[in-house]
Amino acid sequence: MSFKIPLQGDSAKILVIDDEPEVLELVSEFLKREGYDVMTEASSTKGIEKAKSFHPDLILLDIIMPKLDGYEVCKLLKKNESTKNIPVIFLTGKDVSEDHHKSFQVGGDMFIKKPFSRESLTRIVKLVLETLYM
């Protein structure tokens, strides 16, 4: 799958998968203020299906979730032909040293520790998207 570079006026599509409604609302609000097209999902299994149908340019993925954790979700996304090239930024409140290495092992592109500021979130999202389109 090849990514299209958003043209001027187009906004990148971002899927946020997190089981905490407050986090979904906050991240969605932050990213929409920056002009991104944002879709959210609270279920890890439904998040995988949304990734296949929404075709996001980027996925923000919580690590600790019921049923499938973020690591398993990322592994499944990276094995699927239609989602394998979508960059994944992990979000977590867990210990950074524990999760950092594993996040990259399963195919993650970046790691953000909760809590985070709007500025740090949007800076990292922009960095990953700009790197993708270079």
pLDDT tens, position by position, for the chain (134 residues)?
344 444 333 689 999 999 999 999 999 999 999 999 999 999 999 999 999 999 999 999 999 999 999 999 999 999 999 999 999 999 988 766 666 667 777 888 888 888 899 999 999 999 999 887 66
109 and 89 Cβ atoms separated by less than 8 Å: yes
For the chain, what is the domain count?
A: 1
Per-residue pLDDT, 87: 96
Parent domain of 124: 13-133
Q: Would 4 be classed as within a structural domain?
A: no
Q: Would 95 be classed as within a structural domain?
A: yes
Q: Would 22 be classed as within a structural domain?
A: yes
Per-residue pLDDT, 9: 39
Q: Would 19 be classed as within a structural domain?
A: yes
CATH number of the domain to which 109 belongs: 3.40.50.2300
**What percentage of the chain's residues is helix, strand, coil (to nearest 5)?**
45, 20, 35
Q: Would 3 be classed as within a structural domain?
A: no
Q: What Cα–Cα distance (Å) separates residue 72 from each residue in 11, 28, 107, 124, 132?
A: 28, 23, 10, 23, 23
Per-residue pLDDT, 25: 97
Q: Would 1 be classed as within a structural domain?
A: no
Q: Would 73 be classed as within a structural domain?
A: yes
Q: Would 5 be classed as within a structural domain?
A: no
